[in-house]
Amino acid sequence: MITEDRETFSDTVEEEHPVEACTKCTACNTVCPVARTTEIFRGPKFLGPESERYRDQHEATVTAGLDLCSGCKLCEVTCPSQVSIQEYIRRAQNKGAREKGRTLRDWLLGHTRLLSRFGSLTAPLANFGNRNPLFRLLMERVVGIHRRRPLTKYQWLTFESWFKRHRKNPPLPLGEGRLGARRSVAYFYGCWVDFNERRLGQQVVAVLERNGIEVIVPRQQCCGIPAVVNSNTDLARKYGVENVRRLSQLPAGVDIIASSTSCGLMLKHDYAHLLEIPGAEQVGSRVYDVCEYLWMLHEAGELDIEFQPVDTRVLYHAPCHLKSHGIGYPAMRLLRLIPGVRVEEVDEGCCGISGTYGVKVEKYDLSMKIGSRLFEAVKAAGSDSVLADCETCRMQVEHGAGSRSAHPIDILARAYGYR
């Protein structure tokens, strides 16, 4: 006879998606770009769920092979059991680094904002140095940054400073868009837009304002992903706590948008899960990728779709971290609304750079090898440029395939007549 379930564990089947849910199907290893490219990597199944059973807070972490994980999260994306494989690897990396100490290089790369601020302040000098072969050789020897990896160009005027000016003197008065300022968004622009690609930030602001959306730029700290990928979740948590505190103070009804896939994913997901920051869940639920947000407007009938034709054939590369958002490819949908734009997805997997991973002297070759399929496909396609939502993907494609690249917002901005 079947009785009523007892008020015991009876039917509280395991946690939602704990490490134990792994059924050893090995799907993660088959999609892992690192495991597919080199035989020196045991793969996410081993470093994640399998090793996790042997990790003990009372004992030193075995770090062998951990640093080869690039953090693309494709293992999590593909896991049929939805195990947070990569989070376990991250935690172990952090614990291992805490026990053994971090290299100067990894410490520096984790402190991107500090580095960028310095780069921005000394922009001409920093940019010269970054292109000077002798200086790069020195950097490789001393710090461990591969000398062939092109480094980001810094700009003197930060996005933050630009926005302060813009606020006082908006080129397009609010409400001139189709709908009036019915919505306000807070823009999490991230270090990249602030110090390296102000233009993208300006385009984001223009596109939003064109649609009658008030843009707020709250004070913000680095999202923390550079620290996370450099085995320093402790530092990332510090940044995250600061961001969560600031973003929590935004008035209700103000959504948060990000134009960097990885910053967005940190805010949406990793703050609450990997870093376990109190209040992060509420902030995360308000965060949208910029294209996701615009598509939502479109579905609500609020997006101005009177685009000027843009005659271009572009390739779209979906960043790995975008897949983790679980929102599909909103950029592709938006681009298809624009007359003249012929967009094709180049579905060749991970580009290989994974933030600061491909910058490191010991990872550069591997990173380029991972991306080689993508580079070949881009070269073969012979199109104008490659679009990608993530800045380091764009850097890598430019470097590996020799093509131009841009954020999808670039095309949208052009379709609205913004130059």
Closer residue to other proteins in complex, CB, 79/204: 79
Q: What's phi and psi for 71, nearest 5 deg?
A: 80, 20
Instruction: Give min distance, CB of 362 to other proteins, in A.
Output: 5
Instruction: Give min distance, CB of 128 to other proteins, in A.
Output: 29
Instruction: Give min distance, CB of 7 to other proteins, in A.
Output: 10
Closer residue to other proteins in complex, CB, 24/419: 24
Instruction: Give min distance, CB of 56 to other proteins, in A.
Output: 6
The residue with tokens 């479109």 is: 298
Q: Give whole-number Cα distances, 26 to 280, 349, 407, in Å.
A: 32, 18, 34
Contact, 287 vs 188, CB < 8 A?
yes
Closer residue to other proteins in complex, CB, 25/121: 25
Closer residue to other proteins in complex, CB, 36/313: 36
Closer residue to other proteins in complex, CB, 92/413: 92
Instruction: Give min distance, CB of 405 to other proteins, in A.
Output: 20
What is the Cα–Cα distance from 228 to 276, expressed in whole angstroms? 13
Closer residue to other proteins in complex, CB, 176/299: 299
Instruction: Give min distance, CB of 318 to other proteins, in A.
Output: 9
What is the Cα–Cα distance from 248 to 80, expressed in whole angstroms? 33
For helices 123-131 and 133-142, what crossing angle results, to 10°? 80
Q: Give whole-number Cα distances, 374 to 152, 219, 401, in Å.
A: 21, 37, 8
- Which 8-state DSSP code applies to residue 419? -
Q: Partners of 118 in the beta sheet?
A: none
Instruction: Give min distance, CB of 195 to other proteins, in A.
Output: 26
What is the Cα–Cα distance from 357 to 351, expressed in whole angstroms? 11
Per the rule left: phi > 0, alpha: psi between -120 and 50, beta: everything else, 103 is: beta
What is the Cα–Cα distance from 60 to 47, expressed in whole angstroms? 15
How does 361-375 read in b/e, with b if 16+ C-beta sit within 10 Å? bebbebbbebbbbbb
How does 172-195 read in b/e, with b if 16+ C-beta sit within 10 Å? eeeeebeeebebbbbbbbbbbbbb
For 15, the token pair is: 């946690």
Closer residue to other proteins in complex, CB, 70/152: 70
Q: Give whole-number Cα distances, 330 to 3, 165, 314, 335, 355, in Å.
A: 48, 31, 15, 9, 22
Closer residue to other proteins in complex, CB, 314/366: 366
Instruction: Give min distance, CB of 120 to other proteins, in A.
Output: 30
Closer residue to other proteins in complex, CB, 123/296: 296
Closer residue to other proteins in complex, CB, 10/249: 10
Instruction: Give min distance, CB of 281 to other proteins, in A.
Output: 9
Instruction: Give min distance, CB of 94 to other proteins, in A.
Output: 17
Closer residue to other proteins in complex, CB, 15/168: 15
Instruction: Give min distance, CB of 12 to other proteins, in A.
Output: 6
What is the Cα–Cα distance from 253 to 401, expressed in whole angstroms? 42
**How many CB atoms are located within 10 Å of the residue 248 CB?**
13
What is the Cα–Cα distance from 141 to 147, expressed in whole angstroms? 9
Q: Tell how strand 255-258 and strand 183-188 pair up.
A: parallel
